[in-house]
Amino acid sequence: MTTQTTTPTLVHTREELAAALAVQDVQAVPRTEGHAGTAHTARPYRRAVVMTMGALHAGHLSLVSRARELADAVVVTIFVNPLQFSPSEDLSRYPRDLHRDLALLSGPGLLGPDDIVFAPGPSVVYPDGDPIVRVSAGSIGDVLEGVSRPGHLDGVLTVVLKLLHLTRPEVALFGAKDAQQLAAVRRMVRDLDVPVTVVGAPIVRDEDGIALSSRNAYLSDDERRRALGLSRALRARGSADEIRAGARLALKQTDVDYVALVDPVTFAEVPTDFAGEALLLVAATVGTTRLIDNAVVQVGA
C-alpha cells in the first residue's frame, strides 16, 4: 500500500520556483463566472503566499492555515533577509532549522505536495549583491521601529516586493504582531499598484499571554517572566496619557524602547485629548532580546 506524501515541494532557486509555480498554474481550479460576474469556487484565490524568516511557531502556522482556507495553492517563503538587519542586530544568531520548519508545515490542514516552500539564499534573492534600488517606507518608516531600527522597514518592503514578483500570488498574509510592518506593506501595495490582496491575521499568544515570536527562544526563565510586561502593558486603559503611563509602569522590569499610542493608519501619535480607537504599541528589551507587541484600545473609555 502506498502512503501519499503530505510534504510540500521544496525549491531553492528562481528556476525551480518558476517550474513549481507552472505546475500550480496547470492544476489551478477553473474559475466560472456567476450571474453577477463573480467567480464561484470553494476558495476565493488561486494562490496565497506567507512570507517568513523560518524558526516557525504556531503564529506562522496559523497564517498558513488561513492561507489554505483562502487559496487553492499556497507558497511559503523562508528567507532571513539581511536588508532588514542593522550591523548591531542578530542576523548571525537568528535561528535556522529548515528540516524542522518543513516538518511543521507538513502538519494536518497545512501544506501538501501541490504547495511550495521557497527557501532561497541571499544570492538568489539578491543576485547582484545588495540592491541599488530599494523601496522606501516613507513617513511610516520614520517613526517607532524606523527610529529604533533605521532602514528596517525599507529592507522589509524591498524583499516583500521582490517575493511578490517571484511568487505571483493573488493574496498575501501577514501577522498583526508587526503592526507597523503590516501597515507599511498595505501602503506599498496601494501606492505602487501591486496586484495583490493583503490580509492581516490576529496575534497568536502563548498560554501566559506573551506574543509568539522566534526571538522568544532567546529568553531565560527569568527573562520570560519579565517579558510578560509587554502583554500586561496592553491592558492599560483610560485617557491617552493614562494609557501611556500605565503601559510604561507595566514595563518597569524591562528596558523600554517605546510606548506609543497612534492612529492605526498613519502611525501618528494621538493627542492628549483624543477619544476613540487607537493602536497601542510597545517595544522593550529583556536581557539581550528585543520584543514588540501591540493591541487596539479604546481611548477615553
List the catalytic residues: 60
What are the strands, taking DSSP E only, across 207-253? none
Tracing cell 484600545 back to the chain, one arrives at 297
Amino acid code (one letter) for 275: A
> How many CB atoms sit inside 10 A of residue 92's CB?
7
CA distance 184 to 120: 24
CA distance 182 to 212: 16
CA distance 290 to 282: 11
Cell numbers representing residue 269 in the block = 501619535
Cell numbers representing residue 55 in the block = 524558526
What are the strands, taking DSSP E only, across the chain? 9-11, 32-33, 39-40, 45-52, 71-78, 116-118, 171-175, 197-201, 255-262, 276-286, 289-299
Amino acid code (one letter) for 48: A
Distances (CA, A) of 250 to 38, 212, 243: 49, 19, 11
CA distance 297 to 301: 9
| Start-to-end Cα distance in the chain | 63
268 DSSP 8-state letter: P
Whether 32 and 58 have beta carbons less than 8 Å apart is answered as: no
